Chains A and B, each alone.
Chain A
Amino acid sequence: QKEVEQDPGPLSVPEGAIVSLNCTYSNSAFQYFMWYRQYSRKGPELLMYTYSSGNKEDGRFTAQVDKSSKYISLFIRDSQPSDSATYLCAMSYGGSQGNLIFGKGTKLSVKP
């Protein structure tokens, strides 16, 4: 079993829809949970990070972490065509300079 599982999609939604992206993981030692957005042939861009369990909201984006279920989610409200990208979840065991374990990424397409 891989450490981080993420459905690669592709996921296609109409503009304005609520998008739900998620990852599951196997190692309960993960402490930091991040969501990155990656446009084609570009480096990942950090969207949000959460430490331990709970919710975090930033504009149209909400990140949720459920450590008991080893499940994290990213919700995008009022999705826009500019949100079309690949979304990567990433996790870390902790420490200030620990490396990140990434999911495969989910490719999202928001149709106008």
Chain B
Amino acid sequence: GAVVSQHPSWVICKSGTSVKIECRSLDFQATTMFWYRQFPKQSLMLMATSNEGSKATYEQGVEKDKFLINHASLTLSTLTVTSAHPEDSSFYICSEGIVREQFFGPGTRLTVL
């Protein structure tokens, strides 16, 4: 299956700062990537669909100005959490693929102090 990497795997930041998370498709050119968020003991929730060369599609309740997504190439999508707050602390996971075969990255654990 496809290989998806994420960087960093773990980040701690101060409240009010911005954090960028990278998601790379290592062996597949992905026109679409998905960003999920997972709070402890909760299910993965889709945040947005990242489309190469165009604007991302955000799920209801996700602030597009707070969670900036850039999909500048077929192998790289980035999620920037702007002005992070402690309630943004979560596990962020990206994926790519078709619905019946999505491949997930290893995730990025964000802790906002």
Contacts and interface: CB of A to CB of B under 8 A. Distances in A.
Contact of B102 (A4, A46, A101, A105): A46
A49 B100 contact: yes
Interface of B: 1, 4, 6, 32, 34, 41-46, 49, 59, 91, 93, 95, 98-107, 109
Interface of A: 4, 6, 8, 32, 34, 36, 41-46, 49, 51, 88, 90, 92, 94-105
A41 B98 CA distance: 24
B106 to A, nearest CB: 5
Contacts of B109: 41
Given A99-B46, A104-B41, A43 B107 contact: yes
B103 A41 contact: no
Q: By DSSP majority rule, is chain B's interface helix, strand, loop, or mixed?
A: strand
Contact of A88 (B6, B34, B44): B44
Contact of B34 (A8, A45, A99): A99
The 6 A-B pairs at the shortest CB distance, nearest first, are namely: A43-B104, A102-B43, A102-B44, A92-B99, A104-B43, A99-B46
B100 A32 contact: yes
A97 B34 CA distance: 10
A97 B43 contact: no
A99 B106 contact: no
A100 B43 CA distance: 11
